[in-house]
């Protein structure tokens, strides 16, 4: 027992442990579904009945139920086509999950080594190493933990036979080629960072989640300073 939890009841401490397990399982489900091209099931892991839910890729943010559906069964389904020869693997590692003392929300971050195979603008799928991070908020909706907000800050992207230290002719700063139907609803909270020899790795993106009591009293500077940061319904009700 830590100083942070010693004032909590046994019921509170057990609820936070259960929440940690449920959230880790939720993240694992997302990874398995994504690799299996089960994009509708990925979307259903989000809090679709919560107005300000969103998922942010390196190129932009998709907001609300409609945005989540546009991103997962929409964009990802378009990229994969009939899924022949397509494979996208992102393996969430090093979980750091902080459950609020009131057990209504949580935040978690992961580093995710991975690789991707396929592109909508190439006749033959191309293989690439693609490492990202997951920066997520979670909320209880209809009695179950769901993704509330998800960011995927970049780490590196390079063809499988090319070291990431090789100078790039250009970067996918604007993300992959997009059909107009799948354009994001908002820009990302910050420009995508991708490794190159002349860059310094971001020291605080995402920041390690601090302990917090309620959603309203949390302080996460690199996202809360964003003009597009939504306001929690929990905060509105307090």
Is residue 174 predicted with pLDDT exceeding 80? no
The class of domain 10-236 in CATH terms is: alpha beta
Span 217-223, average pLDDT = 70
Burial tier of 169 (Cβ tally within 10 Å: 0-12, 13-18, 19+): exposed
| Non-local CB neighbours of 85 within 8 Å, separated by 6+ positions | 117, 118, 125
pLDDT digits over 76-85, tens only?
999 888 888 8
Mean pLDDT, the chain, rounded, equals 87
Where exactly are the structural domains of the chain? 10-236
The pLDDT value recorded for residue 224 is 57
Is residue 43 predicted with pLDDT exceeding 90? yes
- CA 43, CA 65: separation in Å to the nearest integer? 9
- Confidence class for position 44, pLDDT limits 50, 70, 90: very high
Span 102-131, average pLDDT = 88
């Amino acid at each position: 027992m830590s100083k942070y939890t010693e004032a909590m009841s046994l019921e509170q401490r057990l609820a936070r442990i259960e929440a940690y397990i449920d959230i880790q399982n939720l993240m694992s489900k997302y990874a398995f579904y994504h690799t299996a091209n089960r994009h509708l099931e990925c979307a259903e892991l989000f809090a679709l009945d919560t107005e300000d839910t969103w998922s942010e890729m390196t190129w932009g943010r998709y907001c609300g139920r409609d945005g989540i559906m546009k991103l997962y069964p929409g964009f990802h389904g378009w990229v994969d086509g009939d899924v022949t020869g397509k494979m996208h693997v992102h393996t969430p590692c090093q979980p750091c999950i902080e459950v609020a003392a009131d057990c209504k929300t949580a935040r978690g971050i992961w580093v995710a080594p991975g690789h991707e195979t396929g592109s909508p603008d190439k006749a033959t799928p191309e293989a690439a190493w693609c490492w990202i991070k997951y920066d997520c908020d979670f909320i209880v909706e209809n009695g179950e933990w769901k993704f509330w907000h998800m960011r995927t800050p970049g780490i590196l992207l390079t063809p499988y036979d090319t070291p990431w230290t090789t100078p790039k002719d250009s970067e996918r700063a604007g993300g992959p080629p997009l059909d107009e139907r799948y354009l994001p609803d908002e820009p990302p909270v910050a420009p995508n960072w991708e490794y190159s020899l002349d860059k310094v790795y971001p020291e605080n993106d995402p920041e390690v989640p601090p302990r917090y009591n309620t959603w309203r009293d949390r302080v996460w500077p690199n996202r809360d300073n964003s003009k597009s940061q939504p306001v929690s319904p929990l905060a509105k009700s307090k």
